[in-house]
Chain A
């Protein structure tokens, strides 16, 4: 069974693209062999498909919090997620709903965490804001550390 990293985002919606950028950064880093990297445009149905069958998952996405822009937060999905954490998709069926649906269907990996990056610019067509650009290496390191932890726990 694999470990999946899923970067979620829309490359054309400003800071929302940060999850995709973190996956790009991870491609250049040494990762455990069992890890596969994926991107997702925000389609929850596809997200559930990516989670299905994995033994662990790390999801990387822009989040809305009161923290300063660029702050990296980790959310353990072992408990139901606060719905307000994510900017909903346009059809009100976004990442949080996807994870909860996967949980209900028994398709949520036993270990699943979200590495979220606090964002505040969602303009159409805009690139990442500077705080988000600066946060990408830190978020990638956080994901890599989580992956090492997952592997370490398994090997222990």
Chain B
């Protein structure tokens, strides 16, 4: 029996640390395992005993790329526990903050992490030598996404201005207006991005997926909505844990999430665009038509296109919010502690982020549960790799490795979030 091993110690351009192991026996694929070895981060544990008001600031530290998502899910869950609902300008400003995070996160991933895969470069630095204008465009777009988070979040990384009930301070209206002018340029660049990304060479790979995303009758989902799936699921967020369970896998320090005990599902931009297409802005849908976007797309490599469409949407939505913005009477509404349980799910750039907290009458956290998007996507990443490797097994090992890394990045996995991830090992025997 012949054995062959390909090993890559660290998979670059993903968040956190982990490994991928692929075993091929007698030209037949035996298994594909994602091994996550970043230490568990125990955030859920050390939240216990802390003040309910601390949750947005503590959980924002879980991820440097999507801190807003953690702030939004935790704030909404706590507000739900205390019977507070935000509406009007405060609700709109939270959407605006999320637009900023989507723009910076999506642009970073499309241009700096995923584009080099498609164009055959080791990194964005190597890509920049031949595609300087493309990289400069990405950098400019990201800067404006950062500017939104900086203005409304207080700073770009681990923003500090979100609190239960709203914000600590609301910047003056003219600051938002200045941003709107920059966003109009970035919206044009986002359209160019979608047209550019549509010209990339996509591997011919499709799967039968169960897509899961939030859905809201009046808007593309950011901060609230029912949990729906491409298979007909339609669930109140408070019932999330009745259908979605986390399972421990020995090889991983991140839990794997499944639907109805066995269904592997897919969250993130591709799921959102597929399930909420009609809620995208008119411009976004026009660009989708121009690039021949296929409704119900099930090629995960086209996630980069879904990110590009969502970036247009985020710019459009941010401009709309600023154009219609009325300054709130106060930067926050009071939130008084109330013993009980609160749940919330919001759409992080990588997909649904679910939080549940139990607090006592003093507002001390008794229990916390956090289900990040990457732990929900781990099984689908493994499944994709299994079927993808079957298709490309005859290729040289270095090409398999390259394409597997690209396939993993379809999901923009955020391993440090999911463990609160990657080296690649291919064994042929």
Contact = CB atoms under 8 A, between A and B. Distances in A.
A63 B157 CA distance: 20
Contacts, number: 66
Interface residues of A, number: 21
B157 A43 contact: yes
A41 B153 CA distance: 14
Contacts of B157: 10, 41-43
Contacts of B136: 105
Given A90-B416, A104-B129, A49 B139 contact: yes
A12 B128 contact: no
Interface in B214-273: none
A45 interface: yes
A45 B125 contact: no
Identify which of B13, B63, B156 gathers the most chain A CB atoms within 10 Å of its CB: B156
Given A46-B156, A104-B128, A12 B61 contact: yes
Given A12-B158, A91-B108, A101-B128, A45 B146 contact: yes
Contacts of B15: 90-91
B135 A105 contact: yes
Interface stretch (A92-100, A138-146, A148-156): A92-100
Interface string A97-129: 100110011100000000000000000100000
A78 interface: no
A2 interface: no
Contacts of A105: 128, 132, 135-136
A48 interface: yes
B416 A104 contact: no
Interface in B91-141: 108, 112-113, 123-125, 128-129, 132, 135-136, 138-139
B33 interface: no
A89 interface: yes
B65 A90 contact: yes
Identify which of B14, B125, B129, B142 gathers the most chain A CB atoms within 10 Å of its CB: B125
Contacts of A93: 13, 108, 112-113, 124
Nearest to B143: A49
Nearest to A92: B12
* A interface: dominant SS: loop
Given A91-B65, A101-B124, A106-B132, A45 B142 contact: yes
Nearest to A104: B128
A63 B132 CA distance: 29
Interface residues of B, number: 30
B184 interface: no
Interface in A37-70: 41-43, 45-46, 48-49
Contacts of A91: 13, 15, 64-65, 108, 113
Contact of A92 (B13, B135, B138, B155): B13
A45 B149 CA distance: 14
B132 A46 contact: no
A20 to B, nearest CB: 11
Nearest to A42: B157
Nearest to B65: A91
Nearest to B129: A104
A25 to B, nearest CB: 20
Contacts of B65: 90-91
B165 interface: no
B16 interface: yes
A41 to B, nearest CB: 4
Contacts of A124: 61
A12 B57 CA distance: 12
A92 B139 CA distance: 16
A52 B63 CA distance: 28
A41 B12 contact: no
A106 B146 CA distance: 23
A105 B134 CA distance: 10
Identify which of B13, B15, B128, B143 gathers the most chain A CB atoms within 10 Å of its CB: B128
Contacts of A90: 15-16, 63-65, 416
B142 A100 contact: no
Contacts of B416: 90
Contacts of B64: 42, 89-91
Nearest to A90: B64
Contacts of B63: 90
Contacts of A89: 64
Given A90-B16, A90-B65, 10 more contacts: A41-B157, A41-B158, A45-B139, A91-B64, A92-B12, A92-B14, A97-B123, A101-B125, A101-B135, A105-B135
27 contacts: A10-B157, A10-B158, A12-B61, A42-B157, A43-B156, A45-B108, A45-B112, A45-B142, A45-B143, A46-B142, A90-B16, A90-B416, A91-B15, A91-B108, A92-B13, A92-B14, A93-B13, A97-B124, A100-B125, A101-B125, A104-B125, A104-B128, A104-B132, A105-B128, A105-B132, A105-B135, A105-B136
Interface of A: 10, 12, 41-43, 45-46, 48-49, 89-93, 97, 100-101, 104-106, 124
Interface of B: 12-16, 61, 63-65, 108, 112-113, 123-125, 128-129, 132, 135-136, 138-139, 142-143, 146, 155-158, 416
Q: Nearest 6 A-B pairs (CB), nearest first?
A: A41-B157, A104-B128, A45-B142, A90-B64, A101-B125, A100-B125
